[in-house]
């Protein structure tokens, strides 16, 4: 139970010259690939050992990846404020690549956490695994957000630069990132920071997040709900004062309909991030109570 291991057994060749070459390769690769090389009757054995981790360690690794991605997103938001619409797509492509690489790492961590959770005997509280799961799901939402953003920029970049409607949609994308998405990211960080604090402060933070989430849900007062109504008001105001193309007909274009749909979808992802933050806070409270 101390280690996990996989044995790869290679049958010994009947040809002596090939057998000698195989031995040399296996001996040389053992240092490079880190496996233990040995012989068994009729075969050469390569033992790949994977140290056993606890899901508390998996949580720490998940949190590290998620924090790193959030830092990248904050940097992107600052850059977008100073960029023209024509330059934003390239910056977002860099972010997409960074998020994709982080997602691969987080998927590996989540798979390891799943293996640890189902190992017997399972003596760990389930809360650690559920926290890793929440981190992975939060990163999935972030991945959807950056994919939607790059798709939106593709719609906006294929049109003329002096289009008031498309400029509004670009500015609204920045606004969604700064307000709706930014607020969701702030709340996640608020909970993640609680992992490094003393027990009393961790409990206080978790209860604060849970109370705020319940209040927003009951009163429909979240920043995501406000973002939807504000965007609708801006579109209506611009269509009424526009004299080109018959006002509201401006928004019937393919790129406008697609962009508005993506903006609403990004806002919904931010709302789901808020729900995952509440889950993180709840499971952290569970872990704290389980250790008492």
* Tokens 């931010």, residue located: 270
Nearest residue to 131 via CA among 56, 229, 185: 56
> Which parts of the chain have pLDDT scores under 50?
1, 120
Chain segment 25-60, per-residue pLDDT in tens: 999 998 888 888 888 888 999 988 766 678 888 999
% of residues, the chain, pLDDT over 70: 87
Nearest residue to 85 via CA among 147, 183, 146, 164: 164
Residue 55: predicted pLDDT: 85
pTM of the model: 0.76
What kind and span of H or E run contains 27?
helix 16-33
Q: At what angle do helices 85-118 and 126-157 cross, to 10 degrees?
A: 160
Residue 194: predicted pLDDT: 93
Residue 88: predicted pLDDT: 86
Taking CA atoms, 102 is separated from 48, 76, 142, 278, in Å, by: 25, 16, 11, 23
- In degrees rounded to 5, what are phi and psi of residue 125? -65, 140
């Amino acid at each position: 139970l101390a280690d996990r291991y996989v044995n790869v057994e290679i049958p010994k060749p009947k040809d002596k010259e090939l057998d000698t070459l195989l031995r040399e390769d296996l001996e040389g690769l053992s240092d490079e690939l880190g496996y233990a090389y040995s012989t068994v009757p009729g075969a050469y054995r390569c033992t790949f050992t994977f140290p056993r981790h606890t899901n508390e360690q998996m949580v720490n690794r998940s949190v590290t990846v998620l924090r790193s991605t959030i830092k990248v997103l904050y940097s992107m938001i600052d850059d977008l404020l100073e960029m023209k619409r024509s330059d934003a797509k390239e910056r977002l492509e860099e972010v997409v690549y960074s998020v994709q690489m982080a997602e691969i790492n987080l998927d590996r961590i989540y798979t390891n956490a799943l293996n640890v959770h189902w190992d017997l005997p399972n003596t760990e509280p389930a809360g650690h695994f559920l926290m890793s799961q929440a981190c992975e799901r939060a990163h999935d939402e972030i991945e959807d957000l950056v994919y939607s953003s790059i798709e939106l920029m593709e719609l906006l970049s294929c049109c003329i630069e002096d289009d008031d409607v498309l400029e509004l949609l670009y500015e609204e994308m920045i606004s969604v990132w700064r307000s709706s998405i930014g607020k969701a990211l702030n709340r996640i960080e608020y909970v993640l920071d609680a992992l490094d604090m003393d027990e009393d402060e961790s409990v206080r933070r978790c209860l604060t997040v849970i109370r705020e989430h319940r209040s927003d849900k009951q009163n429909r007062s979240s920043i995501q709900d406000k973002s939807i109504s504000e965007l609708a008001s801006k579109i209506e105001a611009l269509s009424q004062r526009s004299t080109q193309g018959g006002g509201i007909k401006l928004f019937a274009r393919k790129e406008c309909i697609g962009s508005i749909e993506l903006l609403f979808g990004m806002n919904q992802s931010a709302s789901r991030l808020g729900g995952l933050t509440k889950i993180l806070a709840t499971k952290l409270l569970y872990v704290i109570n389980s250790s008492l």
